[in-house]
Amino acid sequence: MLGQPIEISSNQNINASVIWMHGLGADGNDFVPVVEMLDLPHIRFILPHAPYRKVTRNNGYEMRAWYDIYGLTPISREDATGINESQLAIEALIAHEIKRGVPANRIVLAGFSQGGAIALHTALRYPQVLAGVLALSTYLPLNSLLAAQKSTANQQTPIFMAHGVDDTVITMETCKASLAILQAQSYRVDWHEYPMAHSVCIEEIADIQQFLNAVLGDLAAE
């Protein structure tokens, strides 16, 4: 169960929403500065906080996490239960936005690292067309199940996928393997590499702004 998420919007004429998930051990505040830099009117940014859970890789230390991490590489063994629980929590946020008048095809799922994994996992299984996916410094979880579980509704949904060439937390090799799986299943992936570690850079933020303007259409600029 998620707590009350952070919400950021520049005015009352909201016609689109971006649900943005933070990385392991952070919280919804982590991407507030990035959202403010994007300065996109008419978009409601929803920044949820992952629940606290014990993380095996971090010696059982309790922190905000979308799912447990067991090994040094995120796909060595995966917490399917935790991933699916987070999927349901994000789907509930989507349902709330739809109830507030934003249709599914005006909603983007975004996330960094572990949050990006949940954004990808949820979007590709969601039964209604979404506007797009931002998958930042991340990978595709439970990738062997995608072919059987994916929704045809989001087969053509644009995916912005970005990674740092110096990332040692989630390696470029891991990310590129996920990219190959997505491309093999004919997903529309807009791939970006940046000279950075496990982080976000100014050039990436500018590209994210361009992507959001593109997938949310002219209404976002009115």
Question: How far is it, in rounded angstroms, from Cα 161 to Cα 7?
Answer: 24
Question: How far is it, in rounded angstroms, from Cα 166 to Cα 180?
Answer: 19
42, 167, 178, 190: which one is catalytic? 167
Question: How far is it, in rounded angstroms, from Cα 182 to Cα 184?
Answer: 5
Question: How far is it, in rounded angstroms, from Cα 221 to Cα 175?
Answer: 32
Question: How far is it, in rounded angstroms, from Cα 104 to Cα 129?
Answer: 6
Task: For the beta carbon of residue 68, count every other beta carbon within 10 angstroms.
Answer: 18
Question: How far is it, in rounded angstroms, from Cα 104 to Cα 94?
Answer: 7
113, 137, 178, 190: which one is catalytic? 113
Terminal CA-CA length for the chain:
35
22, 49, 163, 198: which one is catalytic? 198
Q: Taking the CA of residue 179 as centre, how many other CA atoms within 13 Å lie in the half-sphere pointing to its CB?
A: 19
Coil, helix or strand at residue 52:
strand
- Specify whether 167 is catalytic: yes
Residues labelled catalytic: 113, 167, 198
